[in-house]
Each structure stands twice: as structure tokens, then as C-alpha cells.
Amino acid sequence: MAKVGVVMTLYNAREHIDEAIQSALAQTYTDREILVIDDGSTDGSGEVVRRFGDAVRYEYQPNSGAARATNRGVALTSGEYIAFLENDDAWLPEKLERQVAVLDANPDIGAVNCDLRYFSKTSQPLPNIIHGYCPSDPHCRLFLKGFNFMLSALIVRRGVFEATGGFHEGFKAAGLQDVEWYPRLIDATRVHWIPETLTFFRRHEPRIASEIVLFNTELLLECLWKRYGHDPWKRRYLIEQKISLLSDRGKQRLRGGHTEEGRADLKSALRLAARERAAGKMALRSAMRLMRSYLSPLP
């Protein structure tokens, strides 16, 4: 029974899954189990994982989405602590050791995150750093007490994860299910930030279809509204994000030839902006998109 359960989900990531697993195996902290949940890959990713033999536990499931795969992974591990590693990210060797030490020494801390550095598709380190604490970011400031979470940088106590209820399985593919979960994590426990770059975050072109991104964004805003819509500052932020969503969805529908639906979304964005006196820049962009839809197709 390992103390740390390392949960990885996999969907068609043959190009980078080997590197991610290697970084987990190279950890200086060795009391850990690595579990990969293959969410219905069709590109041979599972074959790459199985080559590691007994060093990595491999489980397959029909494609059900990253949220369900992650929840299943946590349920199948035995670890007191749960660490998450995305299938195209990587850890520095001392990452788990540094985080486990914090949890062991501080029973009142339920989760630990750290900084991340971007690296390229070819695994070249890039100068950009994502800080695990960033109170200047409006979302972090309003919903996360200033913390800035990325899943591969996080380790959490099993009991805390279970208390949050896990990831919302209504999100499609892999996208924003973690962003919806982080506020519930903050509400459930005390979080600690290690101001060191211990994780690499892969920077590449998005692999998720734009219609799925819009669906997930709408679901995220609905979830946050139910929990925080009574707070005037959070409410205003969510309204601005809703205006942006409507405008972007309208643009996508126009480009797809669904002219009436696209115009309806843009008009909804403008009405919401006018009613709430919010998102002036996005309201102007929506008005321009609507006007162009009558003059000529969007570029």
C-alpha cells in the first residue's frame, strides 16, 4: 500500500505519455503507486503504458471523459495522498518529496501546489512560469483565495478529495473540470504553496474542439453561479464571462453557417451587457461581430 497514489488519465497521447511516466518513476520519493486510466485511447497509447510492466498500473475504460477517469483513478488507488499528473506534463525528480514533507509536517494543510514552467512540444524549457499563487488574476482572487492551480502541480489528501465530491462528470472530454473543482477544494481545506518550479506544463495547440470548449465553459459558469452568484463581486465577474461566452458562441455559429442562431447569441450578449452595465469591451466586440454578419461573412 503506497502512501502516494499518482493518478494519470490518458486519451490519445502516445507522443508524450512515456515522458510523463518516466518523470513519475524518477521521483526521489518512492513510496508511491502510479496508476494510468486509459479513457478509450485509439492511437496505441495503452501499448506504451503497458511496456512499463509492473512499475505502472494500467486500467482501460470506454471513453467517458477525463473527469470520470480521474475519479475512477482516485477510487482505485490506495494512497493517503493523491497526486495528479497530466499525460503530457512532467515532474522534476524532487516534486513529490517536497510536497509530501509539507503534508506530513502539517496535518491542517489539505493540499499543496507549486509553480510550473512551460515546455515545448519537443520538451524544451520555455521562460514562462505559472505561479501557484497569483492574487492579481481575477479568477484566483475571487474564487481561490489567490491560489492558481494546475492539476499536475497539485497533491491532495485523499480525505479532502473525497470531501469535495470529486470532479464534476458532466464536463465533456478534458477541459475545465479541474477549474470547477478548485473552488470546492479551497472551501474544503487549507492549501500551501511551494514557490518553486517543480512541474513542467506542456504548451501546444488546443486539441479540444471549439464546440466542446464552449459547452464546458457554459457548464463551468453555471456551476460557479449556483455556488457564488449571491456575492456581488463574483456575480459581476461571472456576468462578464457569460457575455464573452455568448459573443464567442455567436461568432462560431456564424462561421458555421448558422446565421440566425449566431445573431441571437450576439444580441443576447449585448442585452446582458446593457442590462448589467458590464463588459464594455466585449459588448463592443459583439456589436461589431453582429454588424459584420449583416454586411459580409466573418473572416
Residue 291: CB atoms within 10 A of its CB come to 10
- Among 92-101, 119-128, 159-168, 218-227, the least confident range: 119-128
pLDDT at 98 (0 to 100): 98
Note the Cα 125 to chain centre separation in Å: 21
Q: Which residues contact 243 (CB under 8 A, 6 or more apart)?
A: 269, 272, 273, 278, 279, 282, 283, 286
Let me know if 19 is exposed, middle or buried by CB neighbors in 10 A (0-12, 13-18, 19+): middle
Mean pLDDT computed over 135-144: 97
Query: Quick one: cell of 111?
Result: 493540499
Does residue 205 have a pLDDT over 70?
Answer: no
pLDDT at 204 (0 to 100): 66
State what percent of residues in the chain have pLDDT above 90.
Answer: 87
pLDDT at 158 (0 to 100): 98
- Please provide residue 118's backbone torsions phi and psi, each rounded to the nearest 5 degrees: -65, 145
Does residue 146 have a pLDDT over 80?
Answer: yes
Does residue 299 have a pLDDT over 60?
Answer: no
pLDDT confidence band for 120 (50 / 70 / 90): confident
Helices 232-255 and 210-228 pack at an angle, to 10 degrees, of 160
Model confidence pLDDT, tens digit, residues 209-263: 788 889 999 999 999 999 999 999 999 999 999 999 999 999 999 999 999 999 9
pLDDT confidence band for 297 (50 / 70 / 90): low
Q: What is the pTM of this model?
A: 0.92
pLDDT at 248 (0 to 100): 94
pLDDT at 244 (0 to 100): 95
Mean pLDDT computed over 108-136: 94
pLDDT at 167 (0 to 100): 97
pLDDT at 11 (0 to 100): 94
Model confidence pLDDT, tens digit, residues 186-201: 999 999 999 999 999 9
State what percent of residues in the chain have pLDDT above 70.
Answer: 96
Does residue 207 have a pLDDT over 70?
Answer: no
> What average pLDDT does the chain have?
94
